[in-house]
Structure 1
Amino acid sequence: MRKKIGIAISALLIVLSIQYTYAQQVGFDLPENTKRVRIDFKTHNNLIVIPVVINEFITANFILDTGVQYPILTEKLIADMIGLEYARRIIIQGPGENDSITARVAMDVKLELPGGVHSGINQALLVLEEDYLGLRESMGAEVYGIIGYDIFSRFIVEINYDDQYIVLHEPRKYKPRRRYKKVEMRTHNTKPYINLAVTNNRGETNKMSLMIDTGASHSLLIDNPDDRSVLPTSNITSVIGRGLGGEIKGKLGRVKTVKVNKFEFDDPIVSFPLEGDYGSGVKRGSRNGTVGSEFLSRFNVVFDYFSGTLYLKKGQSYSSPFEYDMSGMTLVAHGEGFDQYRVSAVRKNSPAYLAGIKVNDIIETINGFNYETLQLSGASAMLRSREGKRITVKVTRDQFEFKTSFKLQRYI
């Protein structure tokens, strides 16, 4: 049975191990005589979502993800509507509960971004045979794809999380801004890595190299057996993400500090996958874990794969505390139009559990707000907003409606 993760921990931890190369050199280009193009984006669960036009026929929302090598279309029905032709069937190994999933490789695809940014007609596109990720449920938005390396390897990519836009710069024309701090970055097997220092609650500091993953909504994830000493003694067990292979289980806890260059954060929340539940899906490029968008979105950033530099400038949410869901219930989008909340999990003895909420309950309103008003990301923010905040929910269960309430409680 295909499992889903909830909005509060909706991390899309994707690693592709694909034995495939392009027959020709492909990539995106800016319009002629253009130095840069600005593209506005929307965020869902801290993830960047941009529109992509496929074969000049249909527009679909894609996640901008440094963790993927090839563009992925998660909904095969869209590929069938366009009439894409497939060159071959491949196996994708990903972190999660299943060993592998299958996809089709469509060649000679044309992709276009806003502002006239376009690929050649020989672009490759992976089409999943099933919707393994369930993006619409876990994100509460019409998202059907993921794109990454084809953009980051072609342009210098500026991401302004504060005002929600990206700028794609022609590399030869880009001049770094003085207000941004340089962080050394290396690219290995198409993925970017930076060094940081994690200090545990005993005052011990571990230096490690983590992959930057804009397609993961968590703050940090550490997945190195040699660094298990970083795991806080006070932690909770939970589903910490979802990969192409299914749910990824692990523990969550706060470490004392995380430091990147001159930037230091106190009491950040870190995810620790169960040994083997995540790392077994990684076949190329050793890594200790990932830096996700909950961490990265505290900055405005510039990715420069060409010089091996990540530029960082403090953003509006730089000093915001790191928080995790305080209700104990995990919500996903539900219904034909994905316009309702469904409870996909309830943590035992949590506020929601003690208030009588059960798995598969439909939440009609949260503090008087329905789905249309609050959306899934708004519900997530409310349920981790402030310890002691009273939450009242209107629940439908087996065609019966009732109200119940509880107070948010911080667990980590």
Structure 2
Amino acid sequence: MKRSCLHLLVLQICVNVWFIGAQGQFFLKEKVSQKINFEFAANLIVVPVEINGIELSFVLDTGVSKPILFNLSPNDSIDLKNTKTFYLHGLGADGKIEALKSTYNRFKIGDAIGSSQDLYVVFDADINFTSRLGVAVHGIIGFDVFKDFVVEINYNSKYIRLHKPEFFKPKASKRWQTIPIEIYDKRPYLDAKINQNGTEKKVKLLIDTGSSDALWLFEDKAKGLQTYDSLFFRDYLGKGLSGSVYGKRSKINKFLLSDTHLDNVNVAYPDSASVDITKVYKDRNGSVGGDILKRFNMYIDYTNKKMHFKKNSYFKKPFVYNNSGIVLEYNGSMFVNERVELPSTDGYSDTYNPNVVKIDVSISHRMLLKPMYRIVELRQSSNAYASGLRVGDIVLGINGKEVYNMKLNQINEILFGETGKLVRLKVERYGAVKNYRFKLDNALKRNKPSN
């Protein structure tokens, strides 16, 4: 038996992988269901997964047919069995990537145990998605969980619940709707409609919990799937296993799912170079991702090929774009000289009021390791770029606050703010500290129409 002890790093935001193989089954022995809390980051569901006794964090991704491991820290190790080299293909323009396939691994999610699971391990150290999410993620898992359970996803309360299919009963409330889904090549698809400029079109979409975006459509002029009125902008769309994905971003008037519709919905059209169309299900027109899915609580039932859903508190929230054009990632740590006020241990009584004790405060400093954030993508049509900011700048402060005391999602809330808001950034470039000011502009600017 060949065994490997590995030290890795990687993760992803939106990926589809195509390969086939036998796989073990998950079991819940003493329960009919299992609740598991998740961390919600960039519209993605991050769940705790134990592999061969090692606790890790995985994105729950309906778009993948096999679990993929990447992004272990140098201090992490995991014992893998029966390994051999394999190649994976994912979204991105850089082609296939090498991976290690391991069989007969023990997975544990809550009390659900899979004792004979395949696992694919990616070695490319450049594929590190954890830094862009701001939370630790070591891999992705999808079909292996959904094939054995009815998976309840509660975006409001941030938990999933794994239900044994034989004991599951759909909700009877009128607030719940049910639609059929299709399972093709271990991935779920639904039928929806979109409305662009008064024209309604039917679309078949991959249900993709591993995508942060609302809606991806494959551009097809013959089917009328394209940007209209030159109202779009080119942008970084995300990162797949095979590299970064770029394309156009725009809006559609309506997204219709059964009797429910959403207005003014974000849509992205990935470049054809980023999608291997020969690997795509022939009837598929795109994907519905986390920015739409999070607006519903749902049950995904592969066994009976159904999805039950109802609106939640996210439903009425507007669809927003990154009006700054800035994409940040965690870029390691830096030492910060932090001022600390230390009370003196010797107190003394006030001469005029013996009941009052005065305490001297001395000033001290301590060196602390704090997170550091770097600009990794910057839209050239943005006001941020026009102000002088550049890719590679290390962000030190935003709107008068030191960013090392902020989480990445807190910074992004400012960068995704309303048009016209002023943003002040303090950055370091080649050892020099610089200050920049710009107003958040409307990302949707008119462009020359493509022929």
- Structure 1 residue 86, shift from structure 2 partner: 3.7
1:367 and 2:399 matched: yes
- Structure 1 residue 155, shift from structure 2 partner: 0.5
Q: Which residue of 1 aligns with 2:44?
A: 47
Q: Which residue of 2 aligns with 1:21?
A: 21
Q: Which residue of 1 aligns with 2:306?
A: 309
Letter in 2 for 1:28: F
- Structure 1 residue 403, shift from structure 2 partner: 2.5
Q: Verify the 8 A CA contact 1:137 1:338 in the aligned structure 2.
A: no
Letter in 2 for 1:393: L
1:142-181 aligned at under 5 Å gives the runs 142-177=136-171, 178=173, 179-181=175-177
Unaligned runs of at least 5 residues, structure 1:
1-9
Q: Which residue of 1 aligns with 2:218?
A: 223
Residues 401, 260 of structure 1: alpha-carbon distance in 2 compared, 3 angstrom cutoff? same
1:304-363 C-alpha deviation (Å, 9 max, x unpaired): 111111111111110111110011222111124892221112222412112221110011
Q: Larger % of strand: which?
A: 2
**CA distance in 2 between partners of 1:320 and 1:70 (Å):** 33
**CA distance in 2 between partners of 1:380 and 1:268 (Å):** 20
Match of 2:107 among 75, 89, 111: 111
- Structure 1 residue 172, shift from structure 2 partner: 1.0
> After the TM superposition, which of the residue ranges 360-369 and 93-102 deviates more from structure 2?
360-369
Unaligned runs of at least 5 residues, structure 2:
1-10, 334-368, 445-451
**CA distance in 2 between partners of 1:396 and 1:175 (Å):** 57
Match of 2:97 among 90, 97, 101: 101
Letter in 2 for 1:404: Y
**CA distance in 1 between partners of 2:61 and 2:122 (Å):** 17
Give the percent of matched residue pairs that are identical in Structure 1 and Structure 2. Answer: 30
Q: Verify the 8 A CA contact 1:17 1:284 in the aligned structure 2.
A: no
Residues 338, 255 of structure 1: alpha-carbon distance in 2 compared, 3 angstrom cutoff? farther
- Structure 1 residue 75, shift from structure 2 partner: 3.4
- Structure 1 residue 241, shift from structure 2 partner: 2.0
> After the TM superposition, which of the residue ranges 210-219 and 238-247 deviates more from structure 2?
238-247
Q: Which residue of 2 aligns with 1:59?
A: 55
Residues 37, 229 of structure 1: alpha-carbon distance in 2 compared, 3 angstrom cutoff? closer
Letter in 2 for 1:214: T
Q: Verify the 8 A CA contact 1:189 1:285 in the aligned structure 2.
A: no
**CA distance in 2 between partners of 1:338 and 1:188 (Å):** 46
- The secondary structure found in structure 2 opposite 1:221 is strand
Q: Verify the 8 A CA contact 2:211 2:289 in the aligned structure 1.
A: yes
TM-score normalized by the length of structure 1: 0.90
> After the TM superposition, which of the residue ranges 364-373 and 303-312 deviates more from structure 2?
364-373
Residues 79, 262 of structure 1: alpha-carbon distance in 2 compared, 3 angstrom cutoff? farther
> After the TM superposition, which of the residue ranges 170-179 and 207-216 deviates more from structure 2?
170-179
**CA distance in 2 between partners of 1:26 and 1:303 (Å):** 20
Q: Which residue of 2 aligns with 1:74?
A: 70
**CA distance in 2 between partners of 1:237 and 1:11 (Å):** 21
> After the TM superposition, which of the residue ranges 275-284 and 297-306 deviates more from structure 2?
275-284
Q: How many residues align?
A: 395
Q: Which residue of 1 aligns with 2:384?
A: 352
Residues 377, 188 of structure 1: alpha-carbon distance in 2 compared, 3 angstrom cutoff? same
- Structure 1 residue 283, shift from structure 2 partner: 5.1
Letter in 1 for 2:214: S
Residues 11, 355 of structure 1: alpha-carbon distance in 2 compared, 3 angstrom cutoff? farther
1:205-260 C-alpha deviation (Å, 9 max, x unpaired): 11010001000000000015243544232000112122111111110001111111
Q: Which residue of 2 aligns with 1:212?
A: 207
TM-score normalized by the length of structure 2: 0.83
- Structure 1 residue 393, shift from structure 2 partner: 1.6
1:399 and 2:431 matched: yes
Q: Which residue of 2 aligns with 1:84?
A: 80
- Structure 1 residue 87, shift from structure 2 partner: 3.2
- Structure 1 residue 98, shift from structure 2 partner: 1.2
- Structure 1 residue 287, shift from structure 2 partner: 1.7
Q: Which residue of 2 aligns with 1:5?
A: none
Q: Verify the 8 A CA contact 2:71 2:137 in the aligned structure 1.
A: no
Q: CA RMSD in A?
A: 2.1
By relative contact order (CA 8 Å, sep 6+), the higher-ranking structure is 1
Runs in 1 of length 4+ with deviation above 3 angstroms? 75-80, 226-230, 283-286, 368-374
* Higher Cα Rg, which structure: 2
1:277 and 2:309 matched: no
**CA distance in 2 between partners of 1:372 and 1:331 (Å):** 13
